[in-house]
Structures are given as structure tokens and as C-alpha cells.
Amino acid sequence: MKLYSKIKSLFFFLTVLIGSSSLAQNISVHDPVLIKEKDTYYLFCTGKGIKCFSSVDLKNWKVEPAVFPEKPIWTDKVVSDFGNHIWAPDILYHNNKYYLYYSISAFGKNTSAIGVVTNVTLNANDPNYKWIDHGIVVQSYPNRDEWNAIDPNLTFDENNVPWLSFGSFWDGIKMVKLNPDLLSIAQPEEWYAIAKRKNTPLSGGSSAIEAPFIFKKNGFYYLFTSWDLCCKGKDSTYKIAVGRSKSVSGPYVDKEGNLLSQGGGTILLKGDENYFGVGHNSAYTFDGVDYLVYHGYDAKQNGKSVLVIKELKWDSDFWPYL
């Protein structure tokens, strides 16, 4: 009986340990998004030409070809010196195609644009594999716009109408209705401001919020955003906040009922002894399990940005936790 108890205790310890750790192998990413085609997961993230990895178990990852071997031709008209370093993709499957939204920007400015590229498969060995770029969906201009056209996320409402949320710093998170082809803004234009923070000294007087991701669950639209500073290694203060709404366009509120459009947001995850900062998340359901996918600045690796994947759970009031 004593041996049985020891084995049982060890099994419980290992279960807790595995359940509390990331599923992902230690690969370096920023702004990860995931999708599954057949039995393979594909991860896209910020990097030269948009970095891509594949996996069959969410743990071991293989490097795949970049989406853009050369920078999209249209980008020179927006930013001429970004070196094909493309930011914050978003991936979805709709009408038998994969749509991948991406952003380019002059760093620290709202000289930015969001584009979209499509493919019928993500398998680079498939003879039908070919990315087709459709150019600009949304563009922001200094001295005209108070918003910034980066960090896109495409969501469908209950009527299957497509909405693109995006934005960082500047004047918070925006949302605009798209045409059914998912390639352009619908007319007449319909815009919403769905989240904002009060200006803070650490962000240079800007609204330190970015990277929206909307996840439908439990009869709500959950809006995840990232707060404070990323990309600083040990000095990163990134954290993930969440709010929810019954309508895709809001109003979104946090656990205390504060409006996200007026600075509200419930902190879901922040830096700890393992990571200096965590953020720019996405969320998915695969095979009946919900996952939160994000990057964290690993304290054991001097602030290296690594992929983290954890199971996303829900409390009795339908709020997410890890």
C-alpha cells in the first residue's frame, strides 16, 4: 500500500507539472497564430517574410518556407525600409481558402498597412501550394489617423459578417466591417472603437494596448489584448488582458463591469519568475480543447522570446483562466 501511495503521488505530481507547463518546444517566436490542416498544425509569426513552422503534436516544430521570399511589391509605397520584416499575422480558413492577414509599419509611427494573402493549402509539398497576395486591406496615415493599422484579427459575427479588429498604442483597438470576400472594407464604412487604455508615461503618452484577438465561446465574444511594453527582453512588461461582450462590436467589459473602451480589462496573465513578460496571444479550440498561444520572454534564457501554449480553462462565471 505504501508503494502504491508513492506511485500515485508521483503520478499526480507529474500530471500537475505537465498540466502547468507549456506544450511547446522551445522555439523563438513573436506574435504566434495557429491553424490545423488535416493532422498538421501550422504556426505563423512575425519575422522575415512571415515565419512558419509545422507540428503534429504542438510540441515539436519544423521550420517551413516563409510566406514571402521577397517583400510584397506594394509595401514600398507604404514603408520602403522595413526589410521584409512582416509583423503579427492572423490565419483563418474560409470558403475553401486560407486567409493570412499581416502588417507592415515604420517602427514607432502609424505609417502602417494591413494586407492579406491567400492559399488553398498550407502544405508546401502540395502542388497546389501558392500564396497569392491581394494587397492592402486597411492603411493608416500620420496626421490623418489617430489609429495604427497593425496587429490584425478577423472575426465573424453570428450572421457570418466579417469584422477586422486591429491596432496598437496610438488611440487603442479599432474594428471595421469587411466585404464578404474578406479583401476590402465594406461600404458604407462601419467602424467601432472597442478597447483603449489611459495614456501612460511608459508608452510615451500613447495608449499602451495592442494585439487584439477575439474568441467566441460560452455565448460571448472574448476580446484579448496585450498591455504595456513588448520586445524589451528582461525589461519587457507585456501582459494579457481580457474582456467580453454579447456583440462582436461591443461594448466589451471586464470582470468588474468596466468598459474596455474606457480603460477596463481583467489581467489574465503577466510576467513572473518564468517569463519577464507575456503577450500577443491567440486562442483556439482543437479537438475539443481550448488553447491560449502566446510568446513569453524566458527568464532562464536572458529574456529570449519563446513560444508558449497552454490549455485555456473557464470558471463558473465563464471567465477564462490558465
206 is in an annotated binding site: no
283 is in an annotated binding site: no
Three cell numbers written together for 314: 473557464
**Spatial contact of 173 and 167, defined as CB atoms under 8 Å apart:** yes
186 is in an annotated binding site: no
Distance, CA of 111 to CA of 148 (rounded, Å)? 8
How many contiguous H segments (helices) and E segments (strands) does the chain have?
1, 22
Rg of the Cα trace of the chain? 20
CA distance to 34, 99, 133, 264, 306, per residue, from 118 (Å): 15, 5, 6, 35, 27
108 is in an annotated binding site: yes
150 is in an annotated binding site: yes
Distance, CA of 204 to CA of 109 (rounded, Å)? 12
61 is in an annotated binding site: no
Active site residue 189: no
257 is in an annotated binding site: no
CA angle in degrees (0–180, nearest 5) for 101-103-104? 150
149 is in an annotated binding site: yes
Three cell numbers written together for 292: 491560449
Mapping DSSP to helix (H, G, I), strand (E, B) and coil, where does residue 36 land? strand
Distance, CA of 15 to CA of 288 (rounded, Å)? 19
215 is in an annotated binding site: no
Q: Determine how β-strand 289-298 pairs with β-strand 47-48.
A: unpaired
DSSP lists the bridge partners of residue 215 as 222
Q: Smallest Cα–Cα separation from 197: which of 264, 151, 290?
A: 264
Of residues 31, 90, 228, 254, which has the active-site annotation?
A: 31
Of residues 210, 228, 254, 298, which has the active-site annotation?
A: 210
Active site residue 210: yes
**Spatial contact of 283 and 269, defined as CB atoms under 8 Å apart:** no
Mapping DSSP to helix (H, G, I), strand (E, B) and coil, where does residue 263 land? coil
Q: Which residues are annotated as a binding site for substrate?
A: 31, 108, 148-151, 168-170
Catalytic positions, please? 31, 210
Q: Which residues are annotated as a binding site?
A: 31, 108, 148-151, 168-170
